[in-house]
Structure 1
């Protein structure tokens, strides 16, 4: 019980301090909030003051999976509410390119790097590559929101990165499940189940569930508001309740809960009457911070130092190469089809800022549970921390070097 209260104390103090000094952090402190939370987790964890610890080794993957799933669902709903109304529909071609060819190429490049450097089997390498494919919506949000971002990053670029980061957390699910199935079943059986159950039911069902619940929730809100049947204060945490409803429904139906949450947010925004849901956005933003910062503390506590040591210099080389090769060449190659990226600086910024974070934590823990290989977490956690450091330290300086387009400011 004392361990729980230690977690509550650290999480509460962290959210309080970063909330009070948020503007100062964004303008003066070159470390992003996730990186600051990670550093606190390392300092308070087993490698530091030993104030915080994880559950027994057998339970840790399950705990981390559930915590990261809820965190991603809340964060993706927040991203969906922040986007301009109808943005994914208006820019569906560009999003289809980056979520389709872009994710496949990024996963393949990352997997081949793992395979060539670390000597793991091909499908385990592809699994690790898939877990680090998606752009994390939480770290991306810290880069494209706040006063520094709004002054310096054009709206077209902020919205594109946000939309990609929100959508690809769920869209990468089939890429992660394919190697998991191939490792566990005969190839033909694995492909058949992947097409019918994973793509057909889990992904397709997530889209239908999210769209239905999001649109229905917006309609119910409008009916109650126009009918004056409840007090306005009753709707303050409405979208948070929607997030949990979608998350619970998706888990009961065994569909992709992360994708369903993002789709529900988009459907909620596009429904009639939901023009500028500023209250919902503010509540969702506050709750995202409440969930996100403790999750990054958890990542710091969970770092497998012995596993990192076993990777040696090859692990460090892998981290550098993944940062340099995983995303930048792919975005540059596909830039002509990514219409929101209108200038070379747009392309360069989007190519670099595809951070790895909680989405990788979720999929890595899912992979550990399904395969029993804890080495997957050793590799994935190293790439998470490398990304948090590299992108966290460069976010503010590079944002300030990107001149804004006044016509795109929102």
Structure 2
């Protein structure tokens, strides 16, 4: 009832409103909605909720990019994704290792992998806002959206090498599995699956539409159906479902025909809004506020605050200030600074951290070894950083 006032006058996105409402409805306030009360099912439900919302958002970004955008802007996108992510992953791991004593550097790399990707849901909410449309150049908004989609799927290799080094007895075995499973099977095969499905869907729908077998409304409805079908196929095969969804969306819109048929339709925007709001209500209620002070794990509020400040300063800004000369879409150091600051963490971080817990042993209390320390502390650290990231994006957009 007051969404226009909040978004267009106060410049506060549905991300912040949804999270705040979730906190109010959650166990620490009204206690109406408590995802953590579901016991052993909480982790799996959280994983699948984040997966569906992320995949839909990534597919949407792929579809909404201009015709053959990824091919035309491959150089800038590659520079913004690979070296920037790698730099942030390594330096954030150093910070985590220095601040949280019980975690060794390999475990710190696993936590840092969850915080490496830029969240596409928060990104879309900010760069698609009225202020951004008026004041941020179109080329910069598009490259930030494409980067947020690509690097979410690219978090898999960073996480997998950390987990393999943690759980495998031999580094040789860990590196071999990382190359064969983490890269060849998950990333490359997942991207190929999404691309093939997107191209096949695009051709099939075009034939059906030209022959009058499908109306415009049903054509638009396939937007959501293909996103869910893609992640269903990719996750069933154990490949990178996030990259598959982004690849499918990009392939669907490659020739521009799908975009032309769905132009001026609001169905996809409504679906995105509903899913995003619901997801952040879930995250707000899911936040483990009582665990932010866990001295037995070496976690205290002041350590979490210090880590958050360090992440904001070093995770992306130094790398992009050095590399922006190789990114044609960034025209100067001010845009590089903006792009470096603009690295929200949200749904993607929660998803990757929950995925990591599925590959780690259930911790005892107190933890008995490094694997259990990582399993016990990973999501506490990640959830605090996500909360801080949501709050700082609110202050940033409001001040803008």
Alpha-carbon shift at residue 396 of structure 1 (Å): 4.3
Other-structure match for 1:211: 195
Q: How many residues align?
A: 379
Contact 2:64–2:253 (CA under 8 A) maintained in structure 1: no
User: Displacement of 1:207 after TM fit?
Assistant: 1.1
Residue 242 (structure 2) pairs with residue 258 (structure 1): yes
Partner of 1:319: 308
Residues 1:358 and 2:366 aligned together: no
Residue of structure 1 in register with 2:233 after alignment = 249
My pick for the range that moved more, 73-82 or 368-377, is: 368-377
Which of 139, 146, 149 does residue 156 from structure 1 map onto?
139
- 1:306 to partner: Cα distance: 2.4
Structure 1 residue corresponding to 2:358, chosen from 369, 383, 386: 369
Tell whether the 8 Å contact from 2:349 to 2:382 is kept in structure 1 after alignment: yes
Per the alignment, residue 178 of structure 1 pairs with 161
In 1, Cα distance between the equivalents of 2:268 and 2:93?
34
Aligned CA RMSD, in angstroms, stands at 1.6
Moved over 6 A (4+): none
Shift of residue 58 of structure 1?
2.4
* TM-score, reference length from structure 2: 0.91
Residue of structure 1 in register with 2:88 after alignment: 106
User: Does the Cα contact within 8 Å between 1:74 and 1:284 map onto a contact in 2?
Assistant: no
Per the TM alignment, residue 277 of structure 1 is displaced from its structure 2 partner at its CA by: 4.6
Asked whether the equivalents of residues 66 and 256 of structure 2 are also in contact (C-alpha less than 8 Å), the reply is: no
Aligned mates of 2:347, 2:138 — CA distance in 1: 25
Deviation at residue 234 of structure 1 after TM alignment: 1.9
CA contact (8 A) 2:14 2:125 kept: yes
Cα deviation code 1:70-127 (max 9, x no counterpart): 1100000111122111111111111111211111001111111111001112111101
Equivalence map 1:6-405=2 (5 Å): 17=1, 21-54=2-35, 55-119=37-101, 120-185=103-168, 186-271=170-255, 273-279=257-263, 282-310=266-294, 311-312=299-300, 313-371=302-360, 372=362, 373-398=375-400
Q: CA deviation at 1:344?
A: 2.9
Whole-Å Cα distance in 1 between the matches of residues 126 and 110 of structure 2?
27
> Residue 372 of structure 2 aligns with which residue?
none
Aligned partners of 1:134 and 1:356 also within 8 Å: yes
Gaps of 5+ in 2: 363-374
What is the DSSP-based 3-state SS (H/G/I as helix, E as strand, rest coil) of the residue aligned with 1:138?
A: helix
Shift of 1:272: 6.3
Partner of 1:193, secondary structure, is helix
Give the Å deviation of 1:279: 4.3
Alpha-carbon distance in structure 2 between the residues aligned to 1:295 and 1:103: 25
User: CA 1:117/1:277 → structure 2, altered by over 3 Å: closer, same or farther?
Assistant: farther
Deviation at 1:304, TM superposition (A): 1.3
Q: Give the structure 2 partner of residue 14 of structure 1.
A: none
How far apart are 1:26 and its partner, in Å? 2.4
1:39 deviates by 0.9
* Superposition deviation, residue 343 in structure 1: 2.6
Partners in 2 of 1:277 and 1:83 — Cα distance? Answer: 15
* 1:284 shift after superposition: 2.4
Unpaired stretches in structure 1, ≥5 consecutive residues: 1-16, 399-410
